[in-house]
Chains A and B, each alone.
Chain A
Amino acid sequence: MKENRIRILYIDDEVHNLNAFRASFRRSYEIYTANSAQEGKLLLKSVDVHIIIADQKMPVTTGVEFFYEIREILPDPIRILLTGYTDVEDIIEAINKGHIFSYVKKPWDEYELHNTINNAYEMYQARKNLKEKISELEKINDELNRFIYSTSHDLRSPLMSVLGIINLARLDNSVKDPNGYVDMIESCILKLDGFIQKIIEYYRNSRLDVEYEKIYFDSLLQDCIANFKPQNTAIEFQLNIDQPVDFKGDTFRISVILNNLISNAVKYQKPDETNPKVNLTVKVEPHKATIWIEDNGIGILSEHLNNIFKMFFRSKNNNKPGSGIGLYIVKEALNKIGGTINVESKYGEGTQFEITIPNRNDFDS
């Protein structure tokens, strides 16, 4: 039990005060005393105390000066200043310098001092717990990031080998495959790789610093369309860009957002739609860009609209392949760059996403 006792250092140049303090509190706390700031500092080198009580009026170094001197080397112990009524200036100074928890006036009231000590100790414990939790969380966060990184790499490299084998088998015609099993293997591998790439995307979004550079929505969206066009050549893309002013933003995150949303607009089309459409509209203003991504696809059930940005949520009404992570990444990426997203959808008719992204062009100048 002794280990758990509150350890207090009391510094006062008047020896009878030190003795009186000892006499009153020795049964409750583990007490160390010193009769000058100098001696106190020496003692602190060998003992780890929770609370330091110092008299203000001491020759050579005052209580406030002492606390000020040790604030860098010993930030943890909670400081209590003992002082007479007349030292208001000193109290103000001490509080303003921010290094004392409380002051107790001399001569002390035993009950009051007990209370102050206990409150100080609670503060000490709370700060300590908080510090431990922070470093624990930092460690977990760091490990998680490294885990995601190495998993995605270690998972991906054998997959790429499998794709290499498939390519080679096609090249040398060594595998007879009348039922198209190799193609099925390939499509499964590509699906799995797509998921791994999403994880890497998520990891990058959470970890990389935000960087602002000039963005030209026209070429950015043309690139996106060129990527997705082959997946469904029937889709008619309509691009409507109004960018009269420069736009600065985080290229990586903005392209992650657009790629995921356009990918969904392409993927979730009605199979029997004769005129599948994806409309992309961009309006750039000095302070923000607004982007609308609109499709006439299968739409989202209204009861699902609240959940689509949750991790791994997948709408049950479609039998399309999906990982349930795309829109979650969109939301996370928007959070990083201070953007917002809204969705409107009619089941069976189509979906429209509206995103706004702050224009960092103004923030620079």
Chain B
Amino acid sequence: MISIPDLRIILIDDNEIDLLLHERLITLQQISRTVLSFTSANKALEFLSSNISLHRIPPTIILLDIQMPEMDGFEFLTAFDTYPAKIKSQCYIVMVSSSLDYGDINRTNANPLVIKLLKKPLLAKDLKETVGEIFKDF
């Protein structure tokens, strides 16, 4: 469907049903062959930092939930911002949330690391469009 052969998608969400839903959606729509799911932002950060030893980091889209226990989406962004450019430059962060809170929405839109905010339930159409926008120059 989308012709980035080594594209991978990282899902970060404390809600396991949403993780499963998003994973199935991505697979069904053939958006990416590699989907990595994390139930906590911490585990995802650990994984990403282990990537530093890779020879080449594949293009990565991170679907990030906002409200999570321990480390929420915004705290993840702050931590991720300190990562080396080698990793950061390959990662595209899309926030996914059911929040209707103006504060959450404004903070998300103001964050330079965030490409877009998508609302839950995540729709196949929105996700495909967003991926298409990110890789339109490829």
Contacts and interface: CB of A to CB of B under 8 A. Distances in A.
Contacts, number: 50
Contacts of A159: 98
Contacts of B15: 157, 161
Interface in B56-110: 67, 98-102
Given A160-B120, A161-B121, A168-B24, A204 B102 contact: yes
Given A157-B120, A161-B15, A171 B25 contact: yes
Interface of B: 15, 17-18, 21, 24-25, 28-29, 67, 98-102, 120-124
Interface in A163-221: 163-165, 167-168, 171-172, 197, 200, 204, 208
Given A171-B124, A172-B24, A172-B28, A161 B17 contact: yes
A153 interface: yes
Query: Most A CB atoms within 10 A — which of B29, B98, B124?
Result: B98
B121 A153 contact: no
Contacts of A288: none
Nearest to B100: A200
Given A156-B100, A164-B17, A208-B102, 15 more contacts: A152-B100, A153-B98, A156-B98, A157-B15, A160-B120, A163-B121, A164-B21, A164-B120, A164-B121, A168-B28, A171-B25, A171-B29, A171-B124, A172-B28, A204-B102
30 contacts: A153-B98, A153-B99, A153-B101, A157-B67, A157-B98, A157-B120, A159-B98, A160-B98, A160-B121, A161-B15, A161-B17, A161-B18, A161-B120, A163-B120, A164-B18, A164-B21, A164-B120, A164-B121, A167-B123, A167-B124, A168-B24, A168-B25, A168-B28, A171-B28, A171-B29, A171-B124, A172-B24, A172-B28, A197-B100, A204-B102
A168 B25 CA distance: 7
B67 A165 contact: no
A342 B121 CA distance: 39
Q: Which 10 A-B pairs have the closest CB atoms?
A: A164-B121, A160-B120, A160-B98, A163-B121, A164-B21, A157-B98, A161-B17, A160-B121, A156-B98, A200-B100
Contacts of A168: 21, 24-25, 28
